[in-house]
Amino acid sequence: MTRIACCRLAPRVGEPAFNRELVLRGLDGVDADIVVLPELVTSGYVFASREEASAAAIAADDPRLREWGSFGSLVVGGFCEAGEDGALYNSAAVVDGSGVLAVYRKTHLWDRERLIFTPGDVAPPLLETPFGRVGVLICYDIEFPEMPRSLALRGADLICAPVNWPVIERPPAGEHPPEQLTAMSCARVNRIFMAICDREGTERGVEWVGGTAVIDENGWIAGATSADVDLIRARDKVYSGLSDAFADRRPELYGDLV
Amino acid sequence: MTRIACCRLAPRVGEPAFNRELVLRGLDGVDADIVVLPELVTSGYVFASREEASAAAIAADDPRLREWGSFGSLVVGGFCEAGEDGALYNSAAVVDGSGVLAVYRKTHLWDRERLIFTPGDVAPPLLETPFGRVGVLICYDIEFPEMPRSLALRGADLICAPVNWPVIERPPAGEHPPEQLTAMSCARVNRIFMAICDREGTERGVEWVGGTAVIDENGWIAGATSADVDLIRARDKVYSGLSDAFADRRPELYGDLV
């Protein structure tokens, strides 16, 4: 079994030193094999300007990312990246005791993010880890079913997704936040696990849906913050009897998607 | 507004004459612009053999399909099709007062269906109707996110889906049946309407999840059996602010799907 935990945190925009301590205290407080942090946890989210984001941005080789790996877990968390090209990226780093293993630059930018960040143009990483194959997506990426599907087809057992899911419209009574419902369906139809870490708190009037969850390969919430899961179950794509979620695909019919 | 209704029926395997009357009485009892019937409503579902299915199969030009169009609605329903090639297909017909407008042969066959039916090899139809653009999928097709996505990209406002969703495993308390959850997410991420008609009753020990629903473009259930909806809302793909579910796609990253 693999223990997956999401570190629900409330970073503050404009206070990177506070955010750094917040993350370190958070990581120190969890005991898990894999830990997911929110999107842009180093910087906060609701930037007033590109300059404000730029002031909080760090490079992918910054020691403030490397130190996430000093707690014995594999950590996937979002950060505001200062690219070597001068651009800003809404990125996620995968970090362990050996350092930063991979960086993913969000490819689908939500709403006003595009006024600040440059979209990544490289497919998300998929890492062989001691626990299984771990892919990374960030927030709005998940709303494009092509993205979790691609990672699953490449062999992902688990997708770790730092998110900041702002409240747009409250769901009807009894319903999950819509972004969480979509993550549940993604897990189910791809027969993979999803670990979503949403941020907490309120920032400049923006609230977050509180969609943090570890989701199992049947699409159900295994834990609202953490869960012990058998990631290897993601390698069996059989729904029932003769039905296999991957073998039954008809790619020759999917040409409209590309 | 367009009134969409799903005709929840319990056909009986091996009793095509009963099923015919059941459908006609059902259609006579609804007052809607678009009516969806269950999958294989002409024949029932849990066939003991290919021969049993063959005995219930009808051709696409059979008057027993044409007569669905005599109630003033556009009707989408499933039937057991005897192909001109001698094969059996799990098909859906779109019928109005002018006759059978289109036939779709299910392309993703569930479980033991493949022992009886030949999978279709043509993409689902998309029809210009007085109410909007209507696409068709059948049951397990919906579990492949590529399928509703393709129809939506081709311009569907509404997907009508005859289904027979057998109970595999009960969902956790408070959760939708998993197939319905997936349909809700499909509607949401594609910003389209979905009208799902599941069958009722029990057949040879198989139960059905009761997943019938008209789902709106935000992914919420507009009605458990029928709803009045504004299909034109499906043409606006904007989630919020600058975010557009279609314009924000990055097809150059989706090559793994095909």
Picking from B185, B245, B255, the nearest residue to A185 by CB comes out as B185
In chain A, what residues touch B107 (CB-CB under 8 Å)? Answer: 250, 253
Query: pLDDT tens for residues B16-37?
Result: 999 999 999 999 999 999 999 9
* Residue A27's pLDDT band (cuts 50, 70, 90): very high
In chain B, what residues touch A175 (CB-CB under 8 Å)? Answer: 220
B220: nearest CA in chain A? A172
B2-257, CATH topology level? Nitrilase/N-carbamoyl-D-aminoacid amidohydrolase (3.60.110)
Contact flag A146-B184 (C-beta cutoff 8 Å): no
User: A94-101: long-range contacts (C-beta < 8 A, 24 or more apart)?
Assistant: A94/A125, A94/A127, A94/A134, A94/A136, A94/A160, A95/A65, A95/A66, A95/A68, A95/A69, A96/A69, A97/A69, A97/A70, A97/A72, A98/A69, A99/A66, A99/A69, A100/A60, A100/A61, A100/A65, A100/A66, A100/A69, A101/A127
CA distance A32 to A2: 8
* Residue A178's pLDDT band (cuts 50, 70, 90): very high
* Residue B162's pLDDT band (cuts 50, 70, 90): very high
Q: How far is B34 from chain A (nearest CA, A)?
A: 25
Query: pLDDT tens for residues B173-188?
Result: 999 999 999 999 999 9
| Residue A118 confidence (pLDDT) | 98
CA distance B239 to B236: 9
CA distance B191 to A222: 28
DSSP letter, residue B19: H
Average pLDDT over chain A, rounded to an integer: 97
Tokens of B62: 């059979």
In chain A, what residues touch B119 (CB-CB under 8 Å)? Answer: 250
Contact flag B220-A172 (C-beta cutoff 8 Å): yes
* Residue A83's pLDDT band (cuts 50, 70, 90): very high
Q: What is the mean pLDDT of residues A172-195?
A: 98
Q: How far is B96 from chain A (nearest CA, A)?
A: 27
* Residue A210's pLDDT band (cuts 50, 70, 90): very high
* Residue A112's pLDDT band (cuts 50, 70, 90): very high
| Residue B102 confidence (pLDDT) | 98
Domain boundaries, chain B: 2-257
Q: What is the mean pLDDT of residues A160-172?
A: 96
SS3 assignment, position A205: coil
| Residue B108 confidence (pLDDT) | 98
| Residue A92 confidence (pLDDT) | 99
Contact flag B243-A178 (C-beta cutoff 8 Å): no
In the block, tokens 């109707």 appear at B129
| Residue A167 confidence (pLDDT) | 96
CA distance A167 to A41: 18
Tokens of B208: 């059905």
A187: nearest CA in chain B? B182
* Residue A176's pLDDT band (cuts 50, 70, 90): very high
Picking from B112, B143, B174, the nearest residue to A245 by CB comes out as B143
DSSP letter, residue B124: P
B151: nearest CA in chain A? A256
DSSP string, A25-75: HHHHT---SEEE--TTTTT-S--SSHHHHHHH-B-TT-HHHHGGGGGSSEE
SS3 assignment, position B130: coil
* Residue A230's pLDDT band (cuts 50, 70, 90): very high
Q: Which of B75, B88, B153, B164 is nearest to B119 (CA)?
A: B88
| Residue A6 confidence (pLDDT) | 98
Q: How far is B141 from chain A (nearest CA, A)?
A: 9
DSSP letter, residue A9: -
Query: pLDDT tens for residues A40-64?
Result: 999 999 999 999 999 999 999 999 9
Query: pLDDT tens for residues B168-226?
Result: 989 999 999 999 999 999 999 999 999 999 999 999 999 999 999 999 999 999 999 99
CA distance A227 to B122: 42
Residue % of chain B over a pLDDT of 70: 100
Tokens of A182: 């979509």
| Residue B98 confidence (pLDDT) | 98
| Residue B200 confidence (pLDDT) | 96
- Per DSSP, helices labelled H in chain A are 16-28, 50-56, 63-66, 146-154, 178-190
| A:B CB pairs within 8 Å | 156
